[in-house]
Amino acid sequence: MALQSAPFHQDMSDGPKALAYWLTTSDDVRIRVAHWPQENSRGTVLMFPGRTEYVEKYGRAAAEFADMGYETLGIDWRGQGLADRLIDNPRAGYVQDFPDYQKDIAAFVAAAEELDLPKPWFLVAHSMGGCIGLRAVMQDLPVNAVVFSGPMWGIKMAPAVKPGAWILMRLASIFGFAENFAPSTSAETYVVQQEFDGNTLTNDRDMYDYMRTQVTSFPELALGGPSLHWLREAIAECKLLAAKPSPDLPCLTFMGSDEQIVTQHDITDRMARWETGKLNIIPGGQHEVLMEGPDVRADVSAKIAAFFDANR
């Protein structure tokens, strides 16, 4: 695979120097990866971001992994960041089939091999990346261990919205509006639409401003709500994975006690069935556990570092 240089917004990423590359998947979708090298590296973190996210958002996380002695490789999933948008509306979250994300992983792993990224490799997967990553480790992604942050193993919908959403999802494909936004969502990305007060992502204003500044400075990175088709595919994937046994792989999962984006009971259920896994609940934490305040991040980083060290 020939690695072609891609743009990367270094200044607003607020992390170590990164190198970005375009990759082409087996079905000819162009995606972007970013590599944060580390001198005298002890291994590599494979970073799977969530829905709406992009590699620049993980500059600060890459700095924390570098402090542990690890370099990082992150990815823009198809349909978001600077990767190819898949439908005419670039602000609607979309994937044709949820397992298509595994094609992105195949190109990502091939790039990691070509870059000769030092081993052992560890997976860190957030939100939607946690759903994609769960399938990947079930299919033997070559990592020593996995860390999940607020993994999307079930999607929380308000009781008042859920009945209407189910009806719309059933009708969408029949009547040709599957690319429309899911109920209660729009083209505006969440961190721009929602002020810090009342947000469901983080308790830390500085981290919220960090996310907001990125998408207002470079709107091409932004993504709005999910399409009805994406929502249907995501729910189907969560149900399919829930029926499968947990892999025999060391796992550390973080969940905020105030998590409101993904379903807490699906996380606790999975971790109760993960013999080699441990669930760590962050008191008062919201969805973005890796982007909470300094004290929380320091505690989470220390636990991740110890976990990596125990599974080298």
The stretches in the chain having pLDDT less than 50 are none
Q: What is the pLDDT of residue 177?
A: 83
User: What percentage of residues in the chain have a pLDDT greater than 70?
Assistant: 96
Q: What is the pLDDT of residue 160?
A: 57
> Which residues are CB-neighbours of 207 under 8 A, at least 6 positions away?
60, 288, 291, 292, 293
Measured CA to CA, the distance from residue 205 to residue 209 in angstroms comes to 6
- The residue ranges of every structural domain in the chain are 4-310
In 19-70, at which residue ranges do the beta strands (DSSP E only) sit? Answer: 19-24, 30-36, 44-48
The pTM score is: 0.96
Could you give the dihedral angle defined by the CA atoms of residues 163, 167, 172 and 178, in that order, rounded to the nearest 10 degrees? 10
Fold of 4-310: Rossmann fold (3.40.50)
**SS3 state of residue 124:** strand
Measured CA to CA, the distance from residue 142 to residue 90 in angstroms comes to 32
Measured CA to CA, the distance from residue 176 to residue 157 in angstroms comes to 23
Q: What is the pLDDT of residue 272?
A: 98
| CB 170, CB 211: distance < 8 Å | no
